[in-house]
A and B are shown apart, each in its own frame.
Chain A
Amino acid sequence: MVHHHQFDALVVGAGGAGLMAALHASKTVKTAVISKLYPTRSHTGTAQGGISAALGNMEPDKWEWHAYDTVKGGDFLCDQDAVDIMCRDAIDAVIDLEHMGLPFDRTPDGKISQRRFGGHTNNDTKQAVQRACHAADRTGHMILQTLYQNCIKQKVQFFDEFQMIDLLVADGKCNGIVAVCLDTGELHVFHSKGTLLATGGFGKMWKVTSNAHSLTGDAPAAILRRHLPLEDMEFFQFHPTGVYKLGILLSEAARGEGAVFLNGKGERFMERYMPTLKDLAPRDICSRYIYKEIREGRGVDGKDYVYLDFRPEEINKYFAADGNPRRVTAEYMEQKLPDIIEFARVYQGVDPMTAPVPIQPTAHYAMGGIPTNNDAEVLADETGRLIEGLYAAGEVACVSVHGANRLGTNSLVDLVVFGKRGGIKMAEYCAKAAFREIDKAGAATYAQNQIDNLRKGDGTEEPSKIRKSLQIMMDDNVGVYRTGPGIQTAIDHIHELQERYKKVRVQDKGMRWNTDLMEVWELGALLDLAEVTAYSALARQESRGGHFREDFPKRDDANFLKHTFVWKNGKIEIKHKPVVITRFKPEERKY
């Protein structure tokens, strides 16, 4: 049976952006949060190193510098008006989090402690600046916990372990969602005036990824299926320091505290490429040079990895070589980076205090996603037309504040700033809008058909084989280095997999906690998202930020200083939207 609910406002996803939106929306309108995980299990909780804000607690800093660094880090594809909002509001957002109870690390005089991070600089000296506010190396965990704690305090209503399947859209307006209750397997229609999507990323289309199993892009897939566009899908960040083979993230905070990359010959190769910021150059750049070293035979033992060296005595040598008076001890590193030191010990069997850690780039973050304006309102097309009642925030959204490459820490800044703006904007809308009529009997039909087809099917194609094949194909052809023919190979392969998916096997025919069925549904979402990612990558015949085309190795501002909008309406359609440029004219990225 289908259950029906009515709320003024819905938030889908309970990571940082969703909880922030819920905290603000629920102050004034009847709000529900729908999440396929218990909120504290959301992927925000795995963010490690910090959240940037120009507090200036350690040394002079300005939000305008943060904005410039963000735009340059994004290879000038960021919308600069949105970046200004994010970097200016970051300061109050971090102070708000502290007031909500977040246990930031402290300076000796009791202020929020800050550290260096990739691409964050003093714009006058060009040197790395201490801007990342942190709670050891579990800053995301503390943000997620703090926001959830405040939701409990404020008695926010949750539907935990409900998974969104469909978006109710009619006449360009959004009227809610359809979700499966995982426990019962039954469908629930959530009728709303306003809906904010905050389901996070979709890195599971790659094999080596830092992303959780649950990051399958459920909301953006539903967007595509409702014939709405996604933006800048070709821009996906490959973080340089994933645990070799597993992809588990080792925070950039390690390099913020002084760690460096070493190739198989023991050379600190980043200083050859980026002489000023060296190992603290932005992520896209570090990942490309890691693979360049590997391709030129300087991986460790000729294999496809390099080292991240954060042995204290070695770091102190690098500091001395750089003329930096700072020195660290093992005790200090263990205090500042306890989790990632443990990850290396547990998952790599290496003690980073006594040996360098094997790392390789890992698929990490979607710069692209559901297009929004600066108030998290979702765009219907490249002209800026809105879908009334629909909002998106956090990684799932593309504002775009990250452009072609996100700077470290800015994901957390994005989700608190735009989660809040979206929550407030949605509440204002819900307070004055009326519920639109929906076809109650038919509302769940599209979702029901999707689920029934999977449950009742007698397919023979094993979903795990399709998934693995997709992931390997994306790693090989739509990864750090891309070529036109390689991307075309991926597209052809994805089409084959989509055909095989029509005969996919679901073994579990039950209703309750049918994770077999839900995983297969998620695989369908990933296939659709991989398809539009590959098509967007094929169309962008230039190299910018996280999108590097070996056949077009230069950035081409004359032809491609623009955002990609992609639709999947039977066939793929691509259009473009201009980039908002205010103070910062595009220039060559040197660090």
Chain B
Amino acid sequence: MNVRLKIKRFNPETDKKPYWKEYELDMEPKDRVLDALHEVKWTQDGTLSLRRSCAHGVCGSDAMRINGRNRLACKVFVDDEMKTGKGAIMIEPILGLPVIKDMIVDMEPFMAHYRAVMPFLVNDTEPGPRERLQSPQDRERFDDTTKCILCACCTTSCPSFWARGEYVGPAAIVQAHRFIFDTRDQAAEERLAVLNEPDGIWRCRTVFNCTEACPRGIQVTKAIGEVKEALRTGVIA
């Protein structure tokens, strides 16, 4: 099928500001947007720059804004997106992080927020020679938030983050949730304290963009709500 891409281009070495450029391609309907971007790169313009690796929605490299919604380019299809975009697929970098080149943004501010919530298990008791025990129910409690691949789709779809880049953002809260509700962890209070700061969780206005954007189907807004509840009540349940 005929596919039109409208791509927001920017090369820091030659361009003063970003511009839109159109490309026409012949693709299979069930080719992915990533395939279309590769087709441009490999047959029309090698300077088109993007991150990608696994190409099946697990590594989280190719998050971008496709027809105004944050998606992994390897997980959406050209026929669907041609319909959504009414005859052309609009592709631009995710919003709220500095653009380096084409789809490539500076991920460091995002990773700094991630690191701020202590995204690692804290348990200073001697574990003994075998595994720590945990019931299937306790394990299930934080299952959803273990799926996060740090693609930044959620955080860069959030109006609160766009308005203020210091806001820790939904991805970091998801990571905090994964440990706060893990019965093996002992640092919930410290994480909650970080999230209680002025640029912490209370900047969330429950817009649900994050949940809509998550390519892993994580109920992000629900997880944020559970962390807010823990802060309000002082009870982690």
Chain A residues in contact with chain B, CB under 8 A?
Answer: 37-38, 40-43, 45-46, 94-95, 98-101, 103-112, 135-136, 138, 141-142, 145-146, 149-150, 152-153, 183, 212-214, 246, 248, 339, 342-343, 346-347, 349, 462-464, 505-508, 510-516
Contacts and interface: CB of A to CB of B under 8 A. Distances in A.
A141 B58 CA distance: 8
Contacts of B27: none
A46 B59 contact: yes
A579 B110 CA distance: 49
Contacts of B12: 512
Contacts of B135: 106, 108, 110
A43 B53 contact: yes
A45 B139 contact: no
A108 B139 contact: no
A38 B182 CA distance: 25
Contacts of A150: 120
A103 B146 contact: yes
B131 A506 contact: no
B136 A508 contact: no
Given A508-B47, A513-B101, A41 B60 contact: yes
Given A46-B54, A141-B58, A214-B53, A99 B127 contact: yes
18 contacts: A45-B58, A45-B149, A46-B58, A46-B59, A95-B129, A100-B121, A101-B182, A103-B182, A105-B139, A111-B131, A343-B56, A347-B56, A349-B30, A464-B42, A507-B45, A513-B101, A514-B49, A516-B47
B21 interface: no
B189 to A, nearest CB: 17
Given A103-B139, A138-B147, A513-B49, A212 B54 contact: yes
A346 B54 contact: no
Contact of B131 (A98, A108, A138, A346): A98
B53 A37 contact: yes
B142 A103 contact: yes
Nearest to B41: A516
B62 to A, nearest CB: 10
B133 A109 contact: yes
A571 B38 CA distance: 34
Nearest to A107: B136
A214 B118 CA distance: 29
B85 interface: no
Contact of B132 (A42, A98, A507): A98
A101 B184 contact: yes
Nearest to A101: B121
B52 interface: yes
A106 B134 contact: yes
Given A101-B184, A152-B120, A212 B53 contact: yes
Contacts of B43: 462, 464
A507 B47 contact: yes
B194 interface: no
B159 interface: no
B149 A141 contact: yes
A99 B132 contact: yes
B-side interface mostly: loop
A463 B120 contact: no
A107 B127 CA distance: 18
Contacts of B102: 513
A149 B53 contact: no
B80 to A, nearest CB: 11
A94 B129 CA distance: 11
B14 interface: yes
B172 to A, nearest CB: 12
Nearest to A133: B131
B104 interface: yes
A41 B53 contact: yes
Given A248-B55, A513-B101, A516-B46, 10 more contacts: A41-B61, A101-B123, A103-B143, A103-B182, A104-B131, A108-B136, A112-B131, A183-B100, A214-B53, A516-B47
B69 interface: no
Given A37-B59, A214-B53, A106 B139 contact: yes
B11 interface: yes
Contacts of B165: none
A40 B60 contact: yes
A100 B123 CA distance: 9
B230 interface: no
A37 B61 contact: yes
B16 interface: no
Contacts of B49: 508, 513-516
Contact of A152 (B75, B101, B115, B136): B115
Interface in B28-87: 30, 41-43, 45-47, 49-50, 52-61, 75
Contact of A213 (B55, B115, B142): B55
Contacts of B154: none
Contacts of B143: 103, 136
B119 interface: yes
A66 B96 CA distance: 50
A483 B3 CA distance: 41
A243 to B, nearest CB: 8
B54 A515 contact: no
B55 A212 contact: yes
Contacts of A513: 49, 100-102, 104
Contacts of B52: 213
Interface in B80-138: 100-102, 104, 107, 111, 115, 118-121, 123, 127, 129-136
Contacts of A141: 58, 147, 149
Given A212-B53, A510-B13, A153 B134 contact: no
Question: Which of B11, B149, B184 has most chain A Cβ within 10 Å?
Answer: B149
Contacts of B120: 101, 149-150, 152-153
Contacts of B121: 100-101, 146, 149
B77 to A, nearest CB: 9
Interface in B135-185: 135-136, 139, 142-143, 146-147, 149-150, 179, 182, 184-185
A136 B14 CA distance: 47
Given A152-B115, A153-B120, A95 B41 contact: no
Contacts of A112: 131
B131 A248 contact: no
A213 B131 contact: no
A115 B179 CA distance: 26
Question: Which of B12, B119, B120 has most chain A Cβ within 10 Å?
Answer: B120
Given A95-B129, A343-B56, A38 B107 contact: yes
A99 to B, nearest CB: 5
A463 B42 contact: yes
A374 to B, nearest CB: 24
B25 to A, nearest CB: 13
B133 A95 contact: no
Nearest to A92: B129
B59 A41 contact: yes
Contacts of A40: 59-60, 149-150
B59 A512 contact: no
B221 to A, nearest CB: 20
B173 to A, nearest CB: 16
B102 to A, nearest CB: 8
